[in-house]
Structure 1
Amino acid sequence: MIKRFIIAIIALAVIGGGIVGFNLFRAKMIAQFLAAMNSAAFPVTVTEVVPGTWAPGIEAIGTANAAQGSDLSTEASGIVREIRFAANDTVEQGQLLVQIDDRQERADLEAARATEDLAQITLRRARNLQQRGVQATSTLDSAEAEAVSARSTVAKLEAVLSMKQLNAPFAGTIGIPRVEVGQFVSAGTVYATLQDRSKMRVDFSLSEQQAALVKGGMAVTVIGEEDGTQVAGSIIGIDPKIDPNSRLVNLRAILPEANGHLTPGQFLRVRVHLPEEKDVIALPQTVVASSLYGDSVYVVREETPEGSDTAHLVARQVFVQLGRRSAGMIEITSGLKAGDKVVNAGQNRLSSGAPVTITTDAAATAN
């Protein structure tokens, strides 16, 4: 009985050991099989790091203004007798725009001219008599004073008449009339706006730190917000004073190539072009990933696994230091070198050390 019990125990031990040994053997073989398998490589597109020219700039918001533009107002009061322009007319410098009733002033001028003529005749007679010695010097002096007074009166009335005629101070496009024929206007009444849209300027502001980088003559580019119109210009003025309330500096740029493409008062985006810099590494902003640990990119490198003779492409996460941003590009100040291949599409599926293949098909990186 004891002998059979012992034989049963030995049989059970052999069977149990065989099962355990088989499981260990199977686990080892599975591990070896998985180790021998190559992980699927992720398709990515890359940008090669090439130091180039960096064109830095300063972005601002500005307002378009005509190089010559003003609201025209009357110099004298009176009844509007005639309006010689319509809205959006192109007028020439000196063109008569509005005539204010000047009948009384013209009558006064005729009387003053008659008085001047009489004063001149009296003066000539006094000089002739003085030369013949039959008239006192004081009489000649009085005649000369009367002649001067008469000329002054004529000149004064001519000036008053000129103020009744409202002429264009410069050529440009005139706006909607703000007065009507028969309306009484007082001095200072605005009757229209006149804008020379052939030459425009833009006024904008920068922080005192940014303004310190700007000098007169620097190139600028303005972009219209609505239609994307781009016009080039240059800085012509920088205020020597910083606004104590906003801490901003006012600047002005001339836009000689506007050619009527901009409207006074229009909202504009302004870019001031700073001097170019050489050998700067700049990449598209989309290649950079930011996290709590810092800013990083994925760089494709060729590596040979330990125990293998075949090199493979893998993506390695590299932390970088960022600099300035401009026109969708970002400056990399450290972490990369010339020749590095930086992943620019497909990096959302990567982890450091993941195998990759380089492709030129951007659509493949999204699958």
Structure 2
Amino acid sequence: MRKYALLAAFLVLPALPTAAQQAAPTVPVGVVTAASVPVTQGMEFVGRVEATGRVEVRARVTGYLEKVEFTEGDIVRAGEKLFLIEQPPFQAAVQQARGALLQAQAQLSNATIQRQRAEELVKTSATSVAVRDERVAAEKTAGGGVMAAQADLQTAEINLGYTSITAPITGKIGRASVTVGNVVSPQSGPLARIVSQDPMYVTFPVSQREFLRLRTEGVEEARSAAVVRIRFSDGSVYPEPGRLNFVDVTVDRSTDTILVRATVPNPKGELVDGQFVRVRVEGPTPKEQIVVPQSAIVLDQQGAYVFIVEDGKAVVRRLRTGQQVGRNIVVEEGLRGGEQVVVDGITTLRPGAAVVAGPAKEV
């Protein structure tokens, strides 16, 4: 009897639900709407800042250095005095050349008088034609001596001028490589270097593929209207925009790239000759494109994708992404706009999971 009682009690108990009959738990997620916004087309490159003018200051005559007339690291103006070489030897050379010129002029004056006298005498047969010709030749020789003396004086004056070395361009000057009392000469090498400051060039290599893309987006053709923006290595953005001003005429065979150059204002001297920067070239006309937050993007071996909410479920959408726009990223393929893209709760989400969508906390 006890056996039958236990069997009856078991039959009275309700049946447990199977796994298929259990309701799957819903996952709360935060979503944003994939929006179409105006996006300025552009591409980023690695570039180098270059000065528009770079000069090595050198001595053009040999002599003792008497003065260094600048402060290292300062801005110098074109024509400003930088170095002074001992002048007395060169001043003496100028005086000597002037004396030689006076002598040559006196000889020319005497030769001219002699030639005129011989021409008068030959008219009355008081002297021979041969003598007259000798006087003419002597006058020409004396004239040549005057020209040579004038050239020697000019050379001496030029050399005297070279004793005062001035800045050929306006820019920031580096350290002096010599000190007062040393002998300097054209073989001494650069005495100092001057680098212009405003504006500056930014040069960057562009691969042929990227160059063709720039053409497709109309950036290369609208070169004068394209905007160049610079970002430093710490991520900070340089405030002054630049303009493209040169595209090389040949492709570098070793790198398969084309050199492109932009001119960028540098009023505060923030750009330094030789530094590396990130260069972004932007087209003149914005284009409507779909953007989603970067935090919504998931990457796997097949590429990028996002979860969107359709009929209360999480659905995977594969994407082809484009450029970064602030905290968002451009979606070139995969979304049409208006989709509810999951931003919060992605880490625990699985394809096909039931979700409850709400506004994302922060985008």
Equivalent residues of 1:229, 1:261 under 8 A apart: no
Amino acid in structure 1 at the alignment position of 2:9: I
**Structure 1 runs not aligned, ≥5 long:** 1-7, 304-313
Q: Are 1:268 and 2:284 counterparts?
A: no
Instruction: Please give the residue correspondences for 1:51-90 in structure 2 after superposition, counting only pairs within 5 Å.
Output: 51-90=36-75
Equivalent residues of 1:116, 1:147 under 8 A apart: yes
Equivalent residues of 2:32, 2:360 under 8 A apart: no
Q: Counterpart of 1:198? A: 198
Amino acid in structure 2 at the alignment position of 1:199: P
Aligned to 1:56, the other structure's residue is in SS state strand
User: Residues 108 and 28 of structure 1: is their aligned pair in 2 closer, same or farther, counting only changes over 3 Å?
Assistant: closer
Structure 1 residue 179: Cα displacement: 0.5
Cα deviations by residue, 1:275-323 (Å, 9 ceiling, x for unpaired): 545232222232121234553212124x3xxxxxxxxxx2422222313
Aligned to 1:297, the other structure's residue is in SS state strand
User: Residues 43 and 320 of structure 1: is their aligned pair in 2 closer, same or farther, counting only changes over 3 Å?
Assistant: closer
Amino acid in structure 2 at the alignment position of 1:97: L
Q: Are 1:143 and 2:142 counterparts?
A: yes
Equivalent residues of 1:53, 1:276 under 8 A apart: no
Q: Are 1:223 and 2:231 counterparts?
A: yes
Aligned to 2:43, the other structure's residue is in SS state strand
Amino acid in structure 1 at the alignment position of 2:12: F
Q: Counterpart of 1:307? A: none
Cα deviations by residue, 1:127-147 (Å, 9 ceiling, x for unpaired): 566567447433332232122
The one of 251, 255, 263 equivalent to 1:246 is 255
Q: For residues 19 and 192 of structure 2, what CA distance do their matches in structure 1 show?
A: 91
Instruction: Please give the residue correspondences for 1:172-191 in structure 2 after superposition, counting only pairs within 5 Å.
Output: 172-188=171-187, 189-191=189-191
Structure 1 residue 39: Cα displacement: 4.0
**What percent of counterpart residues are identical?**
24
The one of 96, 100, 103 equivalent to 1:111 is 96
Quick check: which has more Rg, 1 or 2?
1
How many positions carry a matched residue from both structures? 337
Which moves more between the two structures, 212-221 or 235-244? 212-221
User: Residues 227 and 176 of structure 1: is their aligned pair in 2 closer, same or farther, counting only changes over 3 Å?
Assistant: farther
The one of 253, 257, 265 equivalent to 1:256 is 265
Q: For residues 194 and 11 of structure 2, what CA distance do their matches in structure 1 show?
A: 100
User: Residues 336 and 221 of structure 1: is their aligned pair in 2 closer, same or farther, counting only changes over 3 Å?
Assistant: same
Equivalent residues of 1:97, 1:168 under 8 A apart: yes
Q: Counterpart of 1:354? A: 354
Structure 1 residue 226: Cα displacement: 4.6
Equivalent residues of 2:251, 2:258 under 8 A apart: yes
Equivalent residues of 2:85, 2:164 under 8 A apart: yes
Instruction: Please give the residue correspondences for 1:256-335 in structure 2 after superposition, counting only pairs within 5 Å.
Output: 256-274=265-283, 276=285, 278-292=287-301, 295-301=304-310, 303=311, 314-327=312-325, 329-335=328-334
Structure 1 residue 169: Cα displacement: 0.1
What TM-score do you get using the length of structure 1 for normalisation? 0.80
Equivalent residues of 2:227, 2:241 under 8 A apart: yes
Aligned to 1:107, the other structure's residue is in SS state helix
User: Residues 360 and 285 of structure 1: is their aligned pair in 2 closer, same or farther, counting only changes over 3 Å?
Assistant: closer
Which moves more between the two structures, 141-150 or 116-125? 116-125
